[in-house]
Amino acid sequence: MTDVLTPVLTDIWDAEQAWKLATYAERGGYAALDAAFAMSPDDIITAVKDSGLRGRGGAGFPTGMKWSFIPQDNPKPKYLVVNADESEPGTCKDIPLMMGNPHVLVEGVIISSYAIRANKAFIYIRGEVVHVIRRVQAAVEEAYAAGHLGKDIHGSGYDLDVVVHAGAGAYICGEETALLEGLEGRRGQPRLRPPFPAVAGLYASPTVINNVESIASVPAIVKNGAAWFGAMGTEKSKGHGIFSLSGHVRKPGQYEAPLGITLRELLDLAGGVREGHQLKFWTPGGSSTPLFTDQHLDVPLDFEGVAGAGSMLGTRALQIFDDTVCVVRAVLRWTEFYQHESCGKCTPCREGTWWLAQALTRLENGQGSEADLDQLIDQCDNILGRAFCALGDGATSPVTSSIQYFREEYLAHLSHGGCPFDPARSTAWAGTEVSA
Amino acid sequence: MSAPEIEKTDLVTVTIDGVQVSVPKDTLVIRAAEQVGVQIPRFCDHPLLAPVGACRQCLVDVPDAGNGRGFPKPQASCTLPVAEGMVVSTQVSSPVADKAQQGVMELLLINHPLDCPVCDKGGECPLQNQAMSNGRGESRFSDDRNRGVKRTFPKPINLSPMVLLDRERCIVCQRCTRFADEIAGDPFIALVERGVQQQIGIAEDAPFLSYFSGNVIQICPVGALTSEQYRFRSRPFDLVSTPGVAEHDACGSAIRVDHRRGTVLRRQAGDDPAVNEEWISDKDRFAFAYAQADDRLTYPQVRDEDGALRPASWPEAFTVAARGLAAAKAAGGVGVLTGGRLSAEDAYAYAKLARVALDTNDIDFRARPLSAEEADFLASHVVLTGPGAGGVTYADLESAATVVLVGLEPEDEAAAIFLRLRKSVRAGGTEVISLAPFTTRGLAKLGARLVPTAPGDEPAALRALAGELDATAVLLVGERLAVVPGALSAAAEIAAATGARLAWVPRRAGDRGAIEAGCLPTLLPGGRPVADAGARVDVAAAWGVDALPATPGRDADGIVAALVAGALGGLVVGGVDPDDTADPAATRAAIDAAGFVVALDVRRTEVTDRADVVFPVAPTTDKSGTFVNWEGRLRPWEAALRNPASLPELRALAGIADELGASLGFRTVDEVRAEMAQLGPWDRTDRERSEPGLSGTTKPPSEARDDAVRADGAVRLATWKQLLDNGSLQEGDKYLKATARTPVALVTPDAYDRYGPTVTLTGDRGSMTLPAEICDDLVDGVVWVPANSVGNGVLADLASPGTTVTIAGAEGVHG
């Protein structure tokens, strides 16, 4: 069964001190660099385009095409910015990747920067994960010492400096233009587009912003060729991707597999749902993607498959909830998260999340009537597609999808006069004696 | 005046709610919709601020973006530029757009306190109005079924001594923070916190101190920002609004005077794209209480036999004034000092009174340091210039490649010029170069290049700069240059040689109009030179008199000297503060020495106290008038208040003239306007202008400076008046006063090390002790102090600007 996995980025995670340069180099690390320097930057862009690599940060925009938007006749410096502000509830792939294999990211940064003719790259890491920041900093330091970074890298005449930047604790800074604001030292709020970052991004200069996993996928594409990468996955969603399974599964963790794998296959790998319980609902790509249920076990987890079933592949953050979980309570928790993280710039998200949280709290407490469900749907309709950025849109996904699939459960709260579930039963320690 | 040349622009045709309209390329959909009569609701959008798309109130449906494809989601029309063939459906024709707008409005109101009945904005509130037009009548957030909990804040907080913030009313549209950042350049307010807790905030110990802070109150689309001055004073629907013109500087800014039952309650910026756009300084906005002060003169007074002033009837005052002036005329003559705050109509009345009733050209509006060189400069380079007549305009400042400032600090002395320059600099089109002793805060905000220039060195610095100037440059010279020998001549010479355009910027609202109206010893109304016989005949004929006095008169300094010497017998004086004049002590002595003094003023002053006859005159609110701004643009206004006992100067002067047996031929502003229009400007085409010096009384000035030996502690005195200081027109508003900058003496780092944190400056008129502040790029050997922020001001208490004073440490003195 494990032969469905395609460990590329995760391959060396189990090695002794996998994060060290020596370990990485022993296994052929930084070899792709010389292959890249032997190519012209445009050829690398072409190779990445041909590979079919699509952004691994959630939106799935073709990476090579993004690079080709950088106007090379612009006299300003070009920048590569790596979005490592992984903060989506349920998403847990970039952080373990940077912990387990930071050098693949650094090597990817070098090749990608070379391709877009950037001499300065930034890795913007979520501020809360100090251990990861330290690890990437150490990797960058090692790379400098080994001559992979700095002046005249590998005698190619190409110079690159990498800055590891720590965020300050805002979910919104995962939105690429808010990230740029934060990187420039300003308040993290999304920018008006156009101009798009490719034209006027960091310091109003042409900028490519890519997810950690996208950039980390580049060395293998350069080394093994576009065809190798394209052979994995499905027609329009090629390659490998890290699927992170969390929640009520026996073996939670990161499973690197070709896009198009199904949850049924992944659950098999992860040992199934928690003993004695059934799958109730799950998120395909983090909390901002509409929920799936056990009807969706065989949906191919690629961009088209998930979209076809009414959700989004997102960051392949598969949060598994079994039958002990109250969906209203779960949705309320997520909504409280969005309310807390709304940056405040636009009305629908700022005010809408405030209202949604109050409305869901009442429902979870068994107050209100069925009319409130329709009102909730209407509120979501007034937020979705009306907000300035995708944060507001994402906040509505769990609400609308949960009402779509679990309307009866909402109503049960009303008839029961409160939540019919025992929250203790869904905890990891359920069934064991816990004393203070 | 000719209309500015219409720029050729590419037109783009779009269809909005089924109506086709062609608008210039890059027009935003929200404004294109206005062209077809559709008002899309909006909050964060402001035509003079960069688009931000934050409030989402202006969402519209775009079924075709011009490329055959539509947008899947409603679009913010305030950030979306038109495209050829674009189809837009607003709330008028699209249920989707209408629902989106209603949805945003509902969300905006869930955390809004809805305290409209006690809110200053209630009645003129975009949120209130648009909630009615584009919102639902009932709240779903907090109704019988759902008791939604609103976010609350303790209220209110002071952003500055003048500006208050009620955070719970705020819809965080960012208009105020964008204004502070983009327009004023004082980004002391910013968004803090996030989500519903997001609010406007200031840094600790850094209040929102900006000369333009009041504008944020006006553009706030809700009642979140209020002023200490106006908060809870009135309701908009009780106010009567009258357009006016700001009287505090020579910018001619349009204002709106809001009054109720004869009392002015507030002033707002008017909207005049050619002049001040939609912005005014805090002085223009908040400084109006002076006209309602307790010391306002409301009836004429004459000096009794016992030596005290007593109330008098108007006819008696006219008679007494005329009798005294006739006697003074016989005893050597009468001088006329008019001050710089007159309307052009009042100035004309003074000019005519001097010539036809007092038979003299001894008239001068310059109640400040002046020179004969300046009078010549005004006669040959300033009078009769204006928009359409070769004059530099605000628009020209925007299109100029370079603007050179000499003797002018626009943020302090001409606020609307400052804002226009900043706009132009931000747009990337203009470089500002300033010949000044240091980089002021205003210059820093203009990104200006400093040409470090000690006071007095301007002519040489100008000549050195001449090589960089051409016809794309504008030279703005301030009135302070009058006391720098050779500076105005150098500016004129360089403008002529390089093709750069030249404009003179005075400080006071009435200065330019007084020149046009003939309140100069060398100029008759309409720019007619006294020295020109034809010009005199022209005016004499129009006025129906046999002849006008032919000798050029004395200037203000000459009048003062003549009074002290007894060569003049009397004085007619209006709105002059001796402390503003070149030599305050001499001016006081002159008033005391004058055999007979007629004073006209709005309020009781030391001059009216010393006068023999006092006439009350109307402040700008009570009369119609016209200011001529620095551009030479006419800025007429009508009276806001009906106050029959409050009369313009021209009425009092006409009464005196009648009693003198020399009727002025008018008694009302309208009559003066008609007469001025009939007289018209001097037609110069039939006469070569003689240069330099139409009066022929001045020789080319010597630029040689008395460069005092750099004896220990000898420094040259640089000074000008700050926007907010001890000026009498700012009296009566303690909140405004609290926003003024703290008076300090700016010294070089060396001088600071030497003399310490408190310095005493000593000049030929006295001493002044001030906290010292280091100014890094202050020219060596120079000290700067604000001209009228401490004591009686620099001219009275210290020395004349540009002269040498001594600096010393003032240990242990804290004053």
Residue B170 lies in a domain: no
Q: Which two tokens stand for residue A210?
A: 């890519």
Q: Say which residue, B200 or B3, is predicted with more confidence.
A: B200
State which of A225, A251, A271 marks the end of a domain: A225
Interface test with B, best of A386, A388, A389 (most B CBs within 10 A): A386
pLDDT at position A2:
55
Q: pLDDT at residue B470 above 90?
A: yes
Q: Is B81 exposed, middle or buried (0-12, 13-18, 19+ CB in 10 A)?
A: middle
Residues B449 and B348 in one domain: no
Tokens of residue B640, six digits: 């806001």
Please say if the pLDDT value at position B683 is more than 90.
no
CATH for A259: 3.10.20.600
pLDDT at A400 over 50: yes
Residues A169 and A208 in one domain: yes
Quote the number of domains for chain B.
4
- The beta-carbon neighbor of B74 closest among A187, A352, A386 is A386
Q: Which residues form the domain of B788?
A: 714-809
Tell me, yes or no, whether A219 and A270 share the same domain.
Answer: no
For A62, A80, A112, B568, the CA distances from A215, given in Å and listed in that order, are: 12, 10, 7, 90
Query: What does the pLDDT look like over B743-772, one tens digit per residue?
Result: 999 999 999 999 999 999 999 999 999 999
Residue A435 lies in a domain: no
A393 shares its domain with A256: no
Same domain, residue pair A147 and A213:
yes
B786 neighbors B725 (Cβ within 8 angstroms): yes
Does the pLDDT of residue B253 top 50, yes or no? Answer: yes
Q: For the domain that residue A158 is a member of, what is the CATH number?
A: 3.40.50.11540
Q: Which percentage of chain A shows pLDDT scores above 70?
A: 99
Same domain, A315 and A272: yes
Q: Of B110, B139, B155, which residue is a domain's last?
A: B110
Q: What is the pLDDT of residue B712?
A: 75
Same structural domain, B442 and B581: no
CATH number for the domain including A365? 1.20.1440.230
- Does residue B498 share a domain with residue B516? no
- Alpha helix segments (H runs only) across A235-282: 263-269
Instruction: Kindly state the percentage of chain B with pLDDT values over 90.
Output: 92
Cβ atoms A174, A85 nearer than 8 A: yes
User: Has residue B416 been placed in a domain?
Assistant: yes
The answer to whether B172 faces chain A, any CB pair under 8 Å, is yes
Model confidence at B368: pLDDT above 50: yes
> Is position B565 within any domain?
yes
pLDDT on residue B418: 98
pLDDT band with cut points at 50, 70 and 90 for residue B697:
very low
Asked if residue A374 lies in contact with residue A404, where contact means CB atoms within 8 angstroms, the answer is no
Contacts of B68 (CB under 8 A, 6+ apart): none
Mean pLDDT of chain B: 94
Minimum CA–CA partner of B199 in chain A: A344
Q: Give the integer Cα–Cα distance in Å for A10 and A251.
A: 16
8 Å CB contact between B221 and B127: yes
Task: Please indicate, yes or no, if residue B287 is contained in any of the structural domains.
Answer: no
Distance CA A8, CA A18 (A): 13
Domain for residue B131, yes or no? no
Q: Is B141 inside a domain boundary? A: no
Residues B469 and B603 grouped into a single domain: no
Q: Is the predicted pLDDT of residue A115 greater than 90, yes or no?
A: yes
* Phi/psi at B720 (5° precision): -155, 170
Q: What is the pLDDT of residues B45-103, one digit of tens each?
A: 999 999 999 999 999 999 999 999 999 999 999 999 999 999 999 999 999 999 999 99
Does the ipTM surpass 0.90?
A: yes
Residues of A in Cβ contact (< 8 Å) with B112: none
Contacts of B195 in chain A (CB under 8 A): 339-344, 350, 353-354
Neighbours of B670 (CB within 10 A): 11
What distance in Å separates the CA atoms of residue A98 and residue B673, rounded to the nearest whole number? 81
| A310 pLDDT tier (thresholds 50, 70, 90) | very high
Q: Are B644 and B525 found together in one domain? A: yes
Q: How does pLDDT run across B112-170, given as a tens digit for each residue?
A: 999 999 999 999 999 999 999 999 888 899 877 778 999 999 989 999 999 999 999 99
pLDDT in tens, B272-291: 999 999 999 999 999 999 99
Measured in angstroms, the CA of A14 and the nearest CA of chain B are apart by 41
My answer on whether B481 and B567 are in the same domain is: no
Asked if B523 and B476 sit in the same domain, the reply is no
pLDDT digits (tens, 9 = 90+) for A229-264: 999 999 999 999 999 999 999 999 999 999 999 999
Same domain, B433 and B355: no
pLDDT at A93 over 80: yes
Structure tokens of A131? 């251990």
Statement to judge: residues A35 and A53 lie in one domain = yes
B417-B420-B422-B423 Cα dihedral, nearest 10 degrees: 180
CA neighbor of B531 nearest in space, from B559, B558, B553: B553
How far does the CA of residue A391 sit from the closest CA of chain B (Å)? Answer: 12
At B687 the pLDDT is: 45
What is the rounded average pLDDT of the residues A85-99? 96
**Cβ–Cβ under 8 Å, residues A388 and A177:** no
- Chain A residue closest to B71 (CA)? A385
The answer to whether the predicted template modeling score (pTM) of the entire model surpasses 0.90 is yes
| CB atoms B56 and A375 under 8 Å | no
At A393 the pLDDT is: 96
Does the structure show a pLDDT above 60 at A31? Answer: yes
**Same-domain pairing of B562 and B455:** no
- Residue B626 reports pLDDT greater than 80: yes
**What's the sign of the alpha-carbon dihedral B524, B527, B533, B536?**
negative
Are A91 and A202 contained in the same domain? yes
* B695, pLDDT greater than 50: no
Distance CA B647, CA A308 (A): 81
Q: Are residues B558 and B625 in the same domain?
A: yes
What pLDDT is stored for residue B701 in this prediction?
A: 56
Rounded Cα gap, residues B769 and B745, in angstroms: 9
The mean pLDDT value for A41-63 works out to 97
Which CATH number does the domain housing residue B775 bear?
2.40.40.20
- Phi, psi of B192, rounded to the nearest 5 degrees: -135, 165
Residue A87 placed within a domain: yes
Q: Residues A51, A43: contact at Cβ < 8 Å?
A: no
- A168 with A284, same domain: the answer is no
Do B343 and B411 belong together in one domain?
Answer: no
Domain C-terminal end among A322, A340, A370: A322
CA distance A38 to chain B (A): 41
The residue behind tokens 């003024």 is B740
**The last residue of a domain, from among B472, B506, B540:** B506
Q: Which amino acid is at B634?
A: L
Q: Are residues A62 and A135 in the same domain?
A: yes
Same domain flag for A296 and A385: no
Q: What number of H helices and E strands is found in chain A? A: 18, 9
B661/B543 same-domain check = yes
Same domain (yes/no): A264, A360: no
Residue B63's CATH number: 3.10.20.740
Pairwise pLDDT comparison (A435 vs A300), residue with the higher score:
A300
Q: What is the mean pLDDT of residues A288-311?
A: 97
Cβ pairs A/B, distance under 8 A: 104
A195's CB contacts (< 8 A; 6+ apart) are none
Whether the per-residue pLDDT at B689 is higher than 50: the answer is no
Could you tell me if residue B269 is inside a domain? no
pLDDT for A53: 98
DSSP E strands: which ranges in A118-206? 120-125, 161-166
Domain end, chosen from A322, A356, A384, is at: A322
Q: Are residues A412 and A311 in the same domain?
A: no
- Residue A436 located in a structural domain: no
| Tally of domains within chain A | 3
User: What are B491-528's pLDDT values in tens digits?
Assistant: 999 999 999 999 999 999 999 999 999 999 999 999 99
Range of the domain at A273: 240-322
Q: What is the phi/psi pair of residue B723, to 5°?
A: -55, -45
CATH code for the domain of B385:
3.40.228.10
- Do A388 and B54 count as a contact with CB atoms less than 8 A apart? yes
